Amino acid sequence: MNRFRIPVPVRYSINAALIAAFLLIGNAIMSSGMIGRAQSSVVIQVAIYMILAVSLNVATGYLGQLPLGHAGFMAVGAYAGALFWKSGLLSGVPDVVAGLVTAGVTAALFGVLIGIPALRLRGDYLAIITLGFGEIIRVAIINLPSITGGTPGLRNIPKYSSFLLVYSCVALTCTFIHMMMKSRHGRAILSLRENEIAAESCGINTTYYKVLAFSVSAFFAGVAGALYGGMLGILVPGNFDFMASIHILVMVVLGGMGSMLGSILAAAILTALPLALQSLNEYRMILYSLLLIGVMILKPSGLMGTYDFSMAYVLEKLGGRVFTNGKGGLSP
Protein backbone atom coordinates (compact mmCIF):
# COMPACT_ATOMS: atom_id res chain seq x y z
CA MET A 1 0.00 0.00 0.00
CA ASN A 2 1.37 3.37 -0.91
CA ARG A 3 1.19 5.93 1.81
CA PHE A 4 1.41 9.62 1.11
CA ARG A 5 4.82 10.75 2.38
CA ILE A 6 6.18 14.24 2.81
CA PRO A 7 9.82 14.49 1.69
CA VAL A 8 12.28 14.85 4.58
CA PRO A 9 13.48 18.41 3.77
CA VAL A 10 9.87 19.59 3.66
CA ARG A 11 9.14 17.92 7.01
CA TYR A 12 12.04 19.68 8.64
CA SER A 13 11.05 23.02 7.10
CA ILE A 14 7.46 22.64 8.33
CA ASN A 15 8.67 21.87 11.84
CA ALA A 16 11.23 24.68 11.79
CA ALA A 17 8.56 27.14 10.65
CA LEU A 18 6.19 26.00 13.41
CA ILE A 19 8.90 26.31 16.05
CA ALA A 20 9.89 29.78 14.81
CA ALA A 21 6.25 30.86 14.86
CA PHE A 22 5.83 29.53 18.40
CA LEU A 23 8.97 31.32 19.60
CA LEU A 24 8.01 34.63 18.03
CA ILE A 25 4.39 34.54 19.21
CA GLY A 26 5.44 33.42 22.68
CA ASN A 27 8.08 36.11 22.86
CA ALA A 28 5.57 38.74 21.76
CA ILE A 29 3.11 37.64 24.45
CA MET A 30 5.80 37.51 27.12
CA SER A 31 7.19 40.94 26.32
CA SER A 32 3.76 42.54 25.93
CA GLY A 33 3.41 42.56 29.71
CA MET A 34 0.20 40.52 29.67
CA ILE A 35 1.81 37.93 31.91
CA GLY A 36 2.86 38.76 35.44
CA ARG A 37 6.30 38.21 36.91
CA ALA A 38 5.36 35.10 38.84
CA GLN A 39 3.73 33.42 35.85
CA SER A 40 6.55 34.27 33.48
CA SER A 41 9.09 32.76 35.87
CA VAL A 42 6.97 29.59 35.88
CA VAL A 43 6.98 29.59 32.07
CA ILE A 44 10.77 29.75 32.04
CA GLN A 45 11.10 27.11 34.76
CA VAL A 46 8.87 24.80 32.72
CA ALA A 47 11.29 25.12 29.78
CA ILE A 48 14.30 24.29 31.96
CA TYR A 49 12.60 21.18 33.31
CA MET A 50 11.62 20.21 29.77
CA ILE A 51 15.31 20.18 28.79
CA LEU A 52 16.18 18.21 31.93
CA ALA A 53 13.44 15.63 31.39
CA VAL A 54 14.15 15.19 27.68
CA SER A 55 17.87 14.80 28.36
CA LEU A 56 17.34 12.31 31.18
CA ASN A 57 15.04 10.41 28.85
CA VAL A 58 18.08 9.64 26.68
CA ALA A 59 19.74 7.71 29.49
CA THR A 60 16.54 6.29 31.00
CA GLY A 61 14.08 5.79 28.18
CA TYR A 62 16.39 5.12 25.25
CA LEU A 63 19.46 3.56 26.88
CA GLY A 64 17.37 1.80 29.52
CA GLN A 65 19.57 2.66 32.51
CA LEU A 66 18.46 4.22 35.76
CA PRO A 67 20.57 7.26 36.59
CA LEU A 68 19.74 8.83 39.95
CA GLY A 69 22.18 11.73 39.74
CA HIS A 70 20.87 13.96 36.97
CA ALA A 71 20.81 16.94 39.31
CA GLY A 72 24.57 16.45 39.70
CA PHE A 73 25.15 17.10 35.99
CA MET A 74 22.77 20.00 36.21
CA ALA A 75 24.81 21.40 39.11
CA VAL A 76 28.10 21.02 37.22
CA GLY A 77 26.65 22.86 34.24
CA ALA A 78 25.02 25.51 36.39
CA TYR A 79 28.25 26.37 38.20
CA ALA A 80 30.41 26.14 35.06
CA GLY A 81 28.05 28.42 33.13
CA ALA A 82 27.63 30.87 35.98
CA LEU A 83 31.37 31.13 36.60
CA PHE A 84 31.97 31.69 32.89
CA TRP A 85 29.34 34.42 32.72
CA LYS A 86 30.64 36.04 35.88
CA SER A 87 34.20 36.07 34.55
CA GLY A 88 33.15 38.62 31.91
CA LEU A 89 35.42 37.27 29.17
CA LEU A 90 32.92 38.06 26.46
CA SER A 91 29.79 40.12 26.24
CA GLY A 92 26.45 40.06 24.46
CA VAL A 93 25.20 37.07 22.51
CA PRO A 94 28.62 35.31 22.20
CA ASP A 95 28.89 35.41 26.00
CA VAL A 96 25.51 33.72 26.42
CA VAL A 97 26.24 31.03 23.85
CA ALA A 98 29.79 30.39 25.05
CA GLY A 99 28.55 30.09 28.62
CA LEU A 100 25.93 27.51 27.64
CA VAL A 101 28.49 25.55 25.62
CA THR A 102 30.98 25.65 28.50
CA ALA A 103 28.26 24.39 30.83
CA GLY A 104 27.28 21.60 28.47
CA VAL A 105 30.82 20.49 27.74
CA THR A 106 31.84 20.46 31.41
CA ALA A 107 28.79 18.40 32.30
CA ALA A 108 29.43 16.07 29.36
CA LEU A 109 33.00 15.49 30.62
CA PHE A 110 31.53 14.40 33.93
CA GLY A 111 29.13 12.23 31.96
CA VAL A 112 32.09 10.47 30.36
CA LEU A 113 33.70 10.11 33.78
CA ILE A 114 30.59 8.39 35.11
CA GLY A 115 29.93 6.50 31.90
CA ILE A 116 33.25 4.70 32.09
CA PRO A 117 32.64 2.92 35.41
CA ALA A 118 29.17 2.21 34.03
CA LEU A 119 30.83 -0.33 31.74
CA ARG A 120 31.41 -2.67 34.60
CA LEU A 121 28.05 -2.26 36.26
CA ARG A 122 24.51 -3.20 35.45
CA GLY A 123 21.08 -2.08 36.49
CA ASP A 124 20.72 -0.97 40.06
CA TYR A 125 24.44 -0.77 40.75
CA LEU A 126 24.73 1.80 38.01
CA ALA A 127 21.89 3.69 39.67
CA ILE A 128 23.86 3.78 42.89
CA ILE A 129 27.05 4.98 41.18
CA THR A 130 25.20 7.91 39.64
CA LEU A 131 23.49 8.63 42.95
CA GLY A 132 26.92 8.62 44.58
CA PHE A 133 28.44 10.94 41.98
CA GLY A 134 25.51 13.33 42.34
CA GLU A 135 26.02 13.49 46.10
CA ILE A 136 29.81 13.85 45.77
CA ILE A 137 29.37 16.79 43.41
CA ARG A 138 27.03 18.46 45.88
CA VAL A 139 29.37 17.85 48.82
CA ALA A 140 32.29 19.18 46.75
CA ILE A 141 30.35 22.35 45.92
CA ILE A 142 29.63 22.90 49.60
CA ASN A 143 33.27 22.35 50.54
CA LEU A 144 34.92 24.55 47.92
CA PRO A 145 33.53 27.96 48.90
CA SER A 146 36.40 29.87 47.25
CA ILE A 147 35.19 28.77 43.82
CA THR A 148 31.53 27.97 44.24
CA GLY A 149 30.45 30.25 47.06
CA GLY A 150 29.75 27.25 49.34
CA THR A 151 26.48 26.82 51.21
CA PRO A 152 25.38 30.50 51.07
CA GLY A 153 25.51 30.27 47.29
CA LEU A 154 27.00 31.86 44.20
CA ARG A 155 25.51 35.30 43.71
CA ASN A 156 25.14 37.97 41.03
CA ILE A 157 24.88 35.64 38.06
CA PRO A 158 23.80 37.59 34.95
CA LYS A 159 20.10 36.90 34.33
CA TYR A 160 20.29 35.81 30.73
CA SER A 161 17.42 33.29 30.73
CA SER A 162 14.81 35.04 28.64
CA PHE A 163 11.81 33.33 27.09
CA LEU A 164 13.43 33.34 23.65
CA LEU A 165 16.69 31.83 24.93
CA VAL A 166 15.23 29.04 27.04
CA TYR A 167 12.64 27.94 24.50
CA SER A 168 15.21 28.05 21.70
CA CYS A 169 17.31 25.74 23.85
CA VAL A 170 14.30 23.45 24.32
CA ALA A 171 13.79 23.34 20.55
CA LEU A 172 17.48 22.70 19.86
CA THR A 173 17.66 19.98 22.52
CA CYS A 174 14.61 18.18 21.17
CA THR A 175 15.79 18.50 17.56
CA PHE A 176 19.28 17.23 18.35
CA ILE A 177 18.05 14.29 20.41
CA HIS A 178 15.37 13.46 17.85
CA MET A 179 17.89 13.46 15.02
CA MET A 180 20.37 11.43 17.04
CA MET A 181 17.75 8.82 17.88
CA LYS A 182 16.68 8.52 14.24
CA SER A 183 20.28 7.94 13.13
CA ARG A 184 22.24 4.70 13.34
CA HIS A 185 23.70 5.89 16.64
CA GLY A 186 20.20 6.15 18.03
CA ARG A 187 19.29 2.69 16.83
CA ALA A 188 22.47 1.34 18.43
CA ILE A 189 21.47 2.94 21.74
CA LEU A 190 17.98 1.46 21.50
CA SER A 191 19.43 -1.97 20.80
CA LEU A 192 21.40 -1.74 24.07
CA ARG A 193 18.15 -1.14 25.89
CA GLU A 194 16.47 -4.14 24.30
CA ASN A 195 19.28 -6.58 24.95
CA GLU A 196 22.82 -5.65 25.71
CA ILE A 197 24.37 -9.04 25.05
CA ALA A 198 22.53 -9.53 21.78
CA ALA A 199 23.53 -6.02 20.67
CA GLU A 200 27.15 -6.70 21.51
CA SER A 201 27.16 -9.92 19.54
CA CYS A 202 25.80 -8.00 16.55
CA GLY A 203 28.93 -5.89 16.60
CA ILE A 204 27.71 -2.85 18.48
CA ASN A 205 30.36 -1.20 20.61
CA THR A 206 28.42 -1.16 23.89
CA THR A 207 31.04 0.85 25.75
CA TYR A 208 31.08 3.60 23.17
CA TYR A 209 27.32 3.93 22.92
CA LYS A 210 26.71 3.84 26.66
CA VAL A 211 29.22 6.62 27.18
CA LEU A 212 27.78 8.52 24.21
CA ALA A 213 24.24 8.36 25.58
CA PHE A 214 25.44 9.35 29.03
CA SER A 215 27.41 12.32 27.84
CA VAL A 216 24.64 13.59 25.55
CA SER A 217 22.28 13.31 28.50
CA ALA A 218 24.77 15.14 30.72
CA PHE A 219 25.49 17.82 28.10
CA PHE A 220 21.89 19.00 27.95
CA ALA A 221 21.47 18.70 31.70
CA GLY A 222 24.45 21.05 31.97
CA VAL A 223 22.86 23.50 29.54
CA ALA A 224 19.64 23.37 31.56
CA GLY A 225 21.67 23.98 34.71
CA ALA A 226 23.28 27.09 33.22
CA LEU A 227 19.83 28.37 32.22
CA TYR A 228 18.65 27.66 35.76
CA GLY A 229 21.45 29.82 37.13
CA GLY A 230 20.62 32.48 34.56
CA MET A 231 17.00 32.42 35.70
CA LEU A 232 17.57 32.66 39.46
CA GLY A 233 20.72 34.79 39.50
CA ILE A 234 21.90 32.75 42.51
CA LEU A 235 22.91 29.11 42.91
CA VAL A 236 22.78 27.21 46.19
CA PRO A 237 23.99 23.59 46.51
CA GLY A 238 20.75 22.60 48.24
CA ASN A 239 18.94 22.93 44.91
CA PHE A 240 20.85 19.98 43.50
CA ASP A 241 20.27 17.28 46.08
CA PHE A 242 19.05 13.73 45.64
CA MET A 243 15.41 14.81 45.62
CA ALA A 244 16.06 17.11 42.66
CA SER A 245 17.31 14.14 40.65
CA ILE A 246 14.28 12.14 41.71
CA HIS A 247 12.00 14.97 40.68
CA ILE A 248 13.39 14.88 37.12
CA LEU A 249 13.20 11.08 37.00
CA VAL A 250 9.56 11.25 38.08
CA MET A 251 8.83 13.51 35.10
CA VAL A 252 10.39 11.06 32.68
CA VAL A 253 8.64 8.00 34.08
CA LEU A 254 5.30 9.72 34.53
CA GLY A 255 5.40 10.97 30.95
CA GLY A 256 6.32 7.56 29.63
CA MET A 257 9.88 6.37 29.22
CA GLY A 258 11.15 6.70 25.71
CA SER A 259 8.54 9.27 24.72
CA MET A 260 9.86 12.78 24.17
CA LEU A 261 6.36 14.19 24.09
CA GLY A 262 5.66 12.48 27.41
CA SER A 263 8.74 14.02 29.02
CA ILE A 264 7.81 17.46 27.76
CA LEU A 265 4.18 17.22 28.90
CA ALA A 266 5.08 15.77 32.30
CA ALA A 267 7.73 18.46 32.84
CA ALA A 268 5.15 21.14 32.06
CA ILE A 269 2.43 19.58 34.22
CA LEU A 270 4.60 18.75 37.21
CA THR A 271 6.25 22.17 37.22
CA ALA A 272 3.10 24.20 36.71
CA LEU A 273 0.74 22.06 38.82
CA PRO A 274 2.27 22.71 42.27
CA LEU A 275 2.11 26.44 41.56
CA ALA A 276 -1.45 26.21 40.29
CA LEU A 277 -2.41 24.32 43.45
CA GLN A 278 -0.78 26.87 45.73
CA SER A 279 -4.14 27.65 47.37
CA LEU A 280 -4.29 24.08 48.66
CA ASN A 281 -1.03 24.72 50.50
CA GLU A 282 -0.18 21.77 52.76
CA TYR A 283 -2.32 19.30 50.78
CA ARG A 284 -0.38 20.11 47.61
CA MET A 285 2.48 17.63 48.09
CA ILE A 286 0.06 14.96 49.31
CA LEU A 287 -1.91 15.31 46.08
CA TYR A 288 1.32 15.20 44.12
CA SER A 289 2.43 11.94 45.72
CA LEU A 290 -1.03 10.38 45.40
CA LEU A 291 -1.06 11.34 41.71
CA LEU A 292 2.30 9.67 41.28
CA ILE A 293 1.20 6.42 42.95
CA GLY A 294 -2.16 6.49 41.14
CA VAL A 295 -0.70 6.94 37.67
CA MET A 296 1.87 4.21 38.25
CA ILE A 297 -0.76 1.72 39.47
CA LEU A 298 -3.27 2.53 36.73
CA LYS A 299 -0.82 3.04 33.87
CA PRO A 300 2.63 1.66 34.72
CA SER A 301 4.09 2.65 31.35
CA GLY A 302 3.46 6.34 32.02
CA LEU A 303 0.94 8.77 30.58
CA MET A 304 2.15 8.58 26.99
CA GLY A 305 3.70 5.11 26.97
CA THR A 306 6.22 5.21 24.16
CA TYR A 307 3.97 7.27 21.87
CA ASP A 308 5.63 10.22 20.18
CA PHE A 309 4.01 13.02 18.29
CA SER A 310 5.02 13.67 14.72
CA MET A 311 3.67 16.70 12.89
CA ALA A 312 4.64 15.17 9.57
CA TYR A 313 2.71 12.00 10.37
CA VAL A 314 -0.45 14.00 11.13
CA LEU A 315 -0.06 15.98 7.92
CA GLU A 316 0.52 12.77 5.99
CA LYS A 317 -2.65 11.27 7.44
CA LEU A 318 -4.65 14.36 6.53
CA GLY A 319 -2.93 14.68 3.19
CA GLY A 320 -3.45 11.00 2.48
CA ARG A 321 -7.16 11.41 3.08
CA VAL A 322 -7.39 14.38 0.73
CA PHE A 323 -5.33 12.88 -2.03
CA THR A 324 -6.72 9.38 -1.88
CA ASN A 325 -10.33 10.54 -1.71
CA GLY A 326 -12.23 7.90 -3.67
CA LYS A 327 -9.46 7.43 -6.15
CA GLY A 328 -7.83 4.43 -4.52
CA GLY A 329 -4.36 5.47 -3.61
CA LEU A 330 -1.77 7.91 -4.71
CA SER A 331 1.15 6.93 -6.83
CA PRO A 332 4.45 7.89 -5.26
Partner 1 sequence: MLFFSQLVNGLQLGSIYAMIALGYSMVYGIIMLLNFAHGDVLMAGGFIALFSINAGLSPVLAVSLAIGGCVCLSVLIEKVAYSPLRAAPRISLLITAIGVSLLLQNLAQLFFSASAHSFPANSILPMKNYSISGVNISLTSIVTILTAIVSMAALTYLVQRTKIGKAMRAVSEDAEAAQLMGVNVNRVISFTFAAGAALAGVGSILYCCRYPLVAPTMGALPGLKAFVAAVFGGIGSIPGAMAGGFAIGLFETLVTALGFSTWADGIVFGILILVLLVKPTGIMGRSMMEKV
Q: Does 122 bind partner 1 (CB under 8 A)?
A: yes
Q: Does 288 bind partner 1 (CB under 8 A)?
A: yes
> Whole-number minimum distance, CB 69 to partner 1, in Å?
10
- Within residues 168-197, the interface with partner 1 by CB under 8 A covers 195, 197
The residue among 103 and 118 lying less far from partner 1, judged by its C-beta, is 118
- Cβ-proximal residues to 218 (8 Å cutoff; 6+ apart), any chain: 55, 73, 76, 107, 108, 110, 111, 114
Asked if 161 and 44 touch (Cβ cutoff 8 Å), the reply is yes
The residue among 269 and 312 lying less far from partner 1, judged by its C-beta, is 269
The number of CA neighbours under 13 Å toward the Cβ of 257 is 18
- Which residue, among 269, 266, 12, 45, has the nearest Cα to 167 in the 3D structure? 45
Q: Does 253 bind partner 1 (CB under 8 A)?
A: yes
Distance CA 67, CA 251 (A): 13
> Whole-number minimum distance, CB 258 to partner 1, in Å?
11
Distance CA 189, CA 158 (A): 37
User: Cα(first)–Cα(last) distance of the chain, in Å?
Assistant: 10
Angle in degrees, CA 50, 53, 55, rounded to 5? 105
Among 14, 19, 29, 66, binds partner 1 (CB under 8 A): 66
The residue among 16 and 290 lying less far from partner 1, judged by its C-beta, is 290
* Part in contact with partner 1 (CB under 8 A); list of ranges 43-51, 127-135, 157-165, 166-174: 127-135
> Which amino acid belongs to residue 103?
A
**Site for partner 1, rule CB under 8 A:** 60, 66, 117, 120-122, 124-125, 127-129, 131-133, 135-136, 139-140, 142-143, 195, 197-198, 201, 242, 246, 249-250, 253-254, 257, 282-283, 285-286, 288-290, 292-293, 296-297, 300-302
